[in-house]
């Protein structure tokens, strides 16, 4: 952490753009979550093409925010955190959405009739990943509050990072069990290949969420 007086030097910190960017990421992942849950359960889902267009629109807005905050960074002297950490965070946060989109693309590639024995486990995995990405928002805001000295709850902020890591570990283990079960099933190999890639992309969302938390922890390291 560098300059707690940053707020006196600029009316709006580029760090605030991280929250704007996160909100767009969150908006997209919510849409994708609903769609994936419907697909996995075999319901009458909205057309993937329509959803893809909606997500592309939101993603464009997220990209605009990312470019805006990257193109308007102040000189390093006036950055409240290391600029490399800042840029790495924007990249990791963007990767969450990239992985979500790829998860959707793997399912949309061709229709897969998912056996009932895997439906519940896939929906639980989707829910867990969605809950994990939800946890990133409060962790980001708590980190910014600490950087801006709006509060001094360093322990509480670190606990949020720890909770993200713990949940991601659980998702990693659940992912491995599910991949093993799918690979050992009697499904057509095309279906197995498609589902395993879908699960791996879900885990990619969790992995990048943990990366974001790790970078936030570095931002407040003494």
Q: How far apart are CA 212 and CA 94, in angstroms?
A: 10
Q: Is the pLDDT at 31 greater than 90, yes or no? A: no
Residue 38 placed within a domain: yes
Residue 185 placed within a domain: yes
Residue 154 placed within a domain: yes
pTM for the predicted model, two decimal places: 0.87
93 token code pair? 């946060």
Q: Is the pLDDT at 170 greater than 50, yes or no? A: yes
In the DSSP assignment, the letter for residue 75 is P
- Give 131's pLDDT tier (boundaries 50, 70, 90): very high
Residue 38 lies in domain: 14-220
pLDDT above 90 coverage of the chain, percent: 47
40 token code pair? 């996995």
147 close to 1: Cβ distance less than 8 angstroms = yes
Residue 1 placed within a domain: no
Higher pLDDT, 124 or 152: 124
Q: Is the pLDDT at 207 greater than 90, yes or no? A: yes
Q: Is the pLDDT at 3 greater than 50, yes or no? A: no
Q: How far apart are CA 167 and CA 126, in angstroms?
A: 13
Least Cα distance to 218 among 151, 152, 149, 139 occurs for: 139
Q: Tell me if residue 5 falls in helix, strand or coil.
A: coil
Residue 140 placed within a domain: yes
Higher pLDDT, 217 or 63: 217
Number of domains in the chain: 1
Residue 2 placed within a domain: no
Q: Which long-range contacts (CB under 8 A, 24 or more apart) does 159-167 make?
A: 160/135, 160/213, 161/213, 161/214, 161/216, 161/217, 163/135, 164/132, 164/135, 164/136, 164/139, 164/209, 164/210, 164/213, 165/210, 165/213, 167/128, 167/131, 167/132, 167/135, 167/206
Q: What is the pLDDT of residues 45-63, one digit of tens each?
A: 666 667 777 877 888 888 8
- Give 214's pLDDT tier (boundaries 50, 70, 90): very high
Q: How many CB atoms sit inside 10 A of residue 109's CB? A: 13
Least Cα distance to 136 among 33, 47, 25, 1 occurs for: 25
CATH number, position 84: 1.20.58.220
Residue 4 placed within a domain: no
Residue 8 placed within a domain: no
């Amino acid at each position: 952490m560098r300059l707690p007086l940053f707020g006196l030097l600029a009316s709006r910190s580029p760090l605030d753009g991280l929250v704007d960017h996160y909100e767009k990421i969150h908006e997209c992942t919510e849409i994708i979550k609903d769609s994936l849950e419907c697909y996995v359960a075999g319901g009458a889902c909205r057309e993937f093409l329509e959803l893809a267009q909606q997500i592309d629109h939101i993603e464009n807005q997220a990209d605009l925010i990312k470019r805006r905050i990257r193109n308007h960074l102040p000189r390093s002297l006036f950055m409240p955190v290391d600029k490399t950490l800042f840029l790495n965070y924007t990249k990791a946060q963007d990767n969450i959405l990239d992985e979500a989109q790829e998860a959707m693309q793997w399912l949309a590639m061709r229709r897969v009739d998912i056996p009932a024995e895997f439906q519940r486990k896939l929906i639980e995995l989707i829910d867990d990943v969605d809950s994990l990405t939800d946890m990133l928002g409060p962790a980001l805001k708590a980190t910014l509050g600490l950087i801006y000295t709006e509060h001094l709850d360093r322990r509480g902020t670190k606990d949020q990072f720890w909770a993200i890591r713990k949940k991601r570990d659980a998702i990693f283990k659940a992912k491995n069990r599910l991949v093993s079960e799918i690979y050992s099933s009697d499904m057509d190999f095309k279906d197995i290949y498609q589902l395993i890639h879908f699960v791996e992309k879900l885990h990619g969302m969790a992995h990048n969420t943990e990366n974001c938390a790790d970078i936030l922890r570095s931002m407040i390291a003494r």
